[in-house]
Structure 1
């Protein structure tokens, strides 16, 4: 907590230096004033681009988003498609549970994905995902102007019901959702989420 006046002064920064297990098995973060003691909050085997983290006050969770070019060799070179990864945690330093992924994200190398905190509903379950994409790939139906475009899509988060609640409502008919794409749910250990990526309101803006 450096305060607004000192946020750009590195001498006031504290670096995450790992976690320790305290009494009762609780995990506690360790902080250091030395950058050499810093450790990653998340380790990923591929090239991560533009990771962003937003706090969802309605769900009391931090949402981490990033993309990577899974088809590139080496991964740091942007060629082929990109994949979006979304993870969540009760704290900014983790541990993170993977919520969902979206293959062929973009279109044509989508990156810089994130959830602006100003674009979240009060309950934290309806929010907007923004990202940039290179339309030079000229995918079918897209403007082949060769410029980068700004995109955003409405996202709906549903908290996974406990097992008992599922059994109680098993006889009820589930309401159908009409969405363009369903993100694959990987896991959600702390707060399981089903993430529906509704792109029915996606907009694309091009610079003049």
Structure 2
């Protein structure tokens, strides 16, 4: 996440107590191949509307992790050629064989989602090769300009490679002049613009017909809080093989209340939309169906009208960036939600942020969703959390969390160990 505007961003120094019981020995900076398992303390906030999962007790972290590149916004999609393809931005790719400390000079292939250091706003593309999360090759595929005007920045979101076509979504961010939302950087969600597409796995691109001024769903934060601002495709496995009906589903976070914080990492509601994926449909707003609640029998209602859109989940002050992965071994959907939480400032500095992540599970995309694990102060500022389907074990019980962390201090020694401003992978197991 780009946080380089000094007039908008303050550098934070995290001093709050941390919940994780981690090994005493400091492991290797970029990789840990030895297991030092730990569990995260259960600090679920009071009033959580999601019942505890009756099937799974908790997550066990193995202590194994890997970090690749010096950029964030990684949303891998498993393509039919067995590679993962992902957007990325706000950093650089210098070495792909070893993780190195972040350099503010941005050497190598650099990319930022706003005009910065003489570069125009753009988003990056990369191919991820390999089957072992501890031994991957990151292949840079270049950067694509993405003008954000009239907003401040334009960022990657929903990314899907299906039947040889890469659909790459972007959205815009701006600022709320009356609320800094706890110092989370961009304070107001702009619209989801649409999808640029590639039929050669990211070598060349066809730009979306939509623009920030005329986005696909017509949302405008000056008129109402955005609901489908930063959508992400549900990960149905290789080439969407586990989609139950051929639809591509997307989850997004947003808000209805005009007074709340609604931005890249904060929102009060989760939304669900779907579309049959093709070059003709992904940029056609009339091809989408919007989740509109459930009927009296509990069956989901789908509408062609955006105005009928209703929240899938609601928890005021606790929701944010959302991704979903289908786990075929468990026959479960797993939802990851990350939220920037504003807390009181410390006496000696502007420490007023914590990032919480929670993982929910359900038998169906439309619920009922149950709490698997609440991870407070995870990262301690982990965001864009997702579970790449390629790295799920056959029985479904071992997975890898993918996220980036600590944009405020890109070389901070993270919590859990190995949480860095990178494509960061951490092994977890279901108990």
SS of the aligned residue for 2:367 comes to coil
The answer to whether the aligner puts 1:114 opposite 2:389 as a matched pair is no
Whether 1:12 aligns to 2:287 is yes
Q: 2:356 aligns with which of 80, 83, 89?
A: 83
Structure 2 residue 309 is matched with structure 1 residue 38 = yes
Q: Answer yes or no: is 1:98 the counterpart of 2:390.
A: no
Post-superposition offset of 1:21: 3.4
The 3-state SS of whatever aligns with 1:70 is strand
Q: Compared with structure 1, are the counterparts of its residues 152 and 93 closer, same or farther at alpha carbon in structure 2 (3 Å cutoff)? A: same
Deviation at 1:69, TM superposition (A): 2.0
Unaligned runs of 5+ in 1: 159-208
CA contact 1:133–1:150 (8 Å) conserved in 2? no
What is the distance in 2 between the residues matched to 1:157 and 1:46? 27
Compare the two structures and name the one with the higher helix fraction.
Answer: 1
Query: Aligned-pair RMSD on alpha carbons?
Result: 2.4
Show the 5 A alignment for 1:33-182. 33-46=304-317, 48-72=319-343, 79-107=352-380, 109-134=381-406, 136-137=408-409, 141=413, 148-158=421-431
Q: Indicate conservation of the 8 Å contact 1:86/1:101, yes or no.
A: yes
Contact persistence 1:41–1:95 (CA under 8 A)? no
TM-score by length of 2: 0.31
Residues 154 and 55 (structure 1), Cα distance of their counterparts in 2 relative to 1, 3 Å cut: same
Query: In the aligned structure 2, how far is the partner of 1:153 from the partner of 1:62?
Result: 19
Q: Report if the CA contact (8 A) 1:51-1:65 is conserved.
A: yes
Q: TM-score, normalization: structure 1?
A: 0.62
Secondary structure at the aligned position of 1:118 is classed as: helix
Pick closer, same or farther for the CA change 1:150–1:72 going to 2, 3 Å: farther
Task: Specify the SS of the correspondent of 1:105.
Answer: coil
C-alpha separation between the residues in 2 aligned to 1:118 and 1:138?
A: 27
TM superposition shift of 1:96: 0.7
Report the secondary structure of 1:43's partner residue: strand
Distance in structure 1 (CA, Å) of the matches to 2:421 and 2:320 = 16
Deviation at 1:126, TM superposition (A): 0.6
Shift in Å, 1:9: 2.2
CA contact (8 A) 2:406 2:412 kept: no
Alpha carbons 2:336, 2:386 under 8 Å: kept: yes
User: Does the Cα contact within 8 Å between 1:50 and 1:67 map onto a contact in 2?
Assistant: yes
Show CA shifts across 1:72-129 (max 9, x none): 48xxxx942111111111111212111111111113x211111111111111111100
